[in-house]
A and B are shown apart, each in its own frame.
Chain A
């Protein structure tokens, strides 16, 4: 057992922290108000990530864990610390500004399904565009949610049919992060809604494909710097080569499992971001107490406030530990679907509670917006962490199925 970070992890954390405090935070509110981050700054971020040896800690895409199959092949366990390191980086980035993390160029949430299910040719083609972004920035996106199907993934209605060497997609996708600017989006559609999950197909739809358009860009409560778009498909024709994983991989229920596999590794990452935002709010309230309530004479509100503060601190610590464990399991090649859901469930709520309590602790002052007064922004940003990547209740369904025998669904 060991709970000390490696020197590399410490350096990464300190590096991101310093950058977040001195560069990211002073701009965070203006990005939020202007609903976007200027491209020159994003280019600077890309260069920085390259210098830091890849996308470690500054990307939404986690390393893909070794699966048990891969382990048995070589006869020994494949161990790394890539997932855990990414969690540490994500917490620190989100402590700076979660919106920025979602805006970072790269494959984003579209990365994991392509990496997990794409053919070698597809991986080469779709990841190739991110190799050199010194001139042109590029994004990937992930399109699953529809106006009528969010948590109930099996209920998607976007349709696809095969015509010759092409697939034709019709339907709408909503709440798609970086959906408007993405060079390509992994889009889920169904050959027949009656088939349920077995009917699902995943496509990589490239920007500019005829019949594929962007609908509205959403106005959100928080994470306003991040672009959230609606995607519209009208007789959109996709070459067969863009069917993710190729025809073969849909002979079984794998089509749907592709979607689900994505989340095992991204949920702890999202949980870590939530912890980062919650910690930002906690530290803000803590410093506020230090500066305003610790007077030479004792004041009545101190003891009760100290306890509220401590409670927030321990809930965040609980969330961080569950999240780290889920990441550690992925690094060890241990299946972690249950623990990944646990991390997302506990972190979303702990962090929301941290923001709610932090404003209470600070009082009126806590709601005033300013370049160094981001608490109201974090309060707006955090709510969606109990919603996207599976709501809290969806996480509990995932957990329930794994702890209660014979439970297939509700």
Chain B
């Protein structure tokens, strides 16, 4: 039966993270921005709270949270600082990717170290700046030479790369197979030939975004992960679920941006009354609250459907469709919230004394994280039109739009 309320456990977690976000993440957001990462004491608190292992399944020693719990936590973190989800320790997207594409034994093998060392980071190196002109697939190559793989190439838009203890790197194993010839490799930090160059981005300054260069990086057979027959489908699932977490962050960002703006328009006066008492301003705020309400409910429903798929109570297509709709809506709504927040603050909003300019930059950044709305819309319409899910057309790449993973 329909129920919009989180259960007691979820409520307790939500309260704890909300408190952390309110008392630590939000007040220190500017510091985080300058440091381009969290201060050690913030990291330590988050690790203590168990946030760094939130993405790890039970089989690998993690809490094995339902997806609903995951999105609840992401919203709370993002309401404190939208960069938080990317800047706090933990395997992050690496864990989600491994969980989706590997069997239980390998999942355990790769993720247990993150439970034993909860201050570690992980990253996924997917994107490439330029498409290959002659064929489909990546330019970064993985060749089987002697008794090891040799990787060469440059991956871009990698979140958490320079802090990562382990990276999941995607490279072309078979050129002729084009997008079906892509392989995934686990690359530990410090591997010879691996170099990482951090880049500066528009928003999410606390996140650590970098390019990853691979020069004759040699890897053992065991680091190659593509055994599963439905590999491409698993990859699609990873992208959609990862983007759904982005949508949860977009929801948190909206909340933070709207609430601070609501408070501002109640105190700022013009023409003899608070500017929030003018319809143009109040209606604008109301519309953003409607967006927030819709984003949150859509994200919750989509996350619930993934849990229901796991329990055989919903089909995967239902979960894909609900997720695509939630992602597109939440991303666009976050951008509207960021933009309007600055607008309603007027000139002050443009200044870094107020948090809203950061929200606006972060919102734009989140729109190119996980998946773009163009991609989720294309996927949604293919499901609705009964077309096969041609994963290579639907996932982000230099052939469509690149995203931060």
Contact A393 B283 (CB under 8 A): yes
**A313 in contact (CB, < 8 A):** yes
B 81-99 to A, binary, CB cutoff 8 A, 1 in contact else 0: 0000000000000000000
**B249 in contact (CB, < 8 A):** no
Closest to A289 in B: B385
Contact B384 A404 (CB under 8 A): no
- What total of A-B pairs shows CB separation below 8 Å? 158
**B310 in contact (CB, < 8 A):** no
Contact B262 A310 (CB under 8 A): no
The answer to whether residues A3 and B2 also contact, given A325-B297, A406-B274 and a CB cut-off of 8 A, is yes
A406 to B277, CA, bound (A): 8
Contact A1 B304 (CB under 8 A): yes
The listed residue with most A CB atoms (<10 A of its CB), out of B5, B300, B325, B374, is B325
A: number of interface residues (CB 8 Å)? 47
- What size tier do the contact residues of chain B reach? 35 or more
The answer to whether residues A410 and B277 also contact, given A2-B3, A290-B385 and a CB cut-off of 8 A, is yes
A6 to B325, CA, bound (A): 23
CB distance from B292 to the nearest CB of A (A): 10
A 302-337 to B, binary, CB cutoff 8 A, 1 in contact else 0: 010011011101110111011011001100100000
Chain A residues whose CB sits within 8 angstroms of the CB of B378 once the complex forms: 303, 306-307, 310
Contact A406 B298 (CB under 8 A): no
Contact B289 A407 (CB under 8 A): no
CB distance from A151 to the nearest CB of B (A): 13
The listed residue with most A CB atoms (<10 A of its CB), out of B1, B282, B382, B385, is B1
A319 to B300, CA, bound (A): 14
Closest to B278 in A: A410
The answer to whether residues A294 and B2 also contact, given A4-B313, A396-B282 and a CB cut-off of 8 A, is no
Partner of A3, one of B285, B293, B305, B328: B305
B 54-77 to A, binary, CB cutoff 8 A, 1 in contact else 0: 000000000000001000000000
**B225 in contact (CB, < 8 A):** no
Contact A404 B265 (CB under 8 A): yes
A residues lining the B interface (CB < 8 Å)? 1-6, 9, 81, 84, 286, 289-290, 294, 303, 306-307, 309-311, 313-315, 317-319, 321-322, 324-325, 328-329, 332, 339, 342, 345-346, 393, 396-397, 399-400, 403-407, 410
Given A2-B2, A329-B4, output 20 extra A-B contacts at Cβ < 8 Å. Answer: A1-B4, A2-B1, A2-B304, A4-B308, A4-B314, A286-B384, A286-B385, A307-B377, A310-B380, A311-B328, A313-B381, A314-B377, A318-B298, A318-B329, A321-B298, A342-B289, A400-B285, A406-B266, A406-B274, A410-B278
6 nearest interchain CB pairs? A310-B377, A321-B297, A400-B282, A314-B325, A306-B381, A318-B294
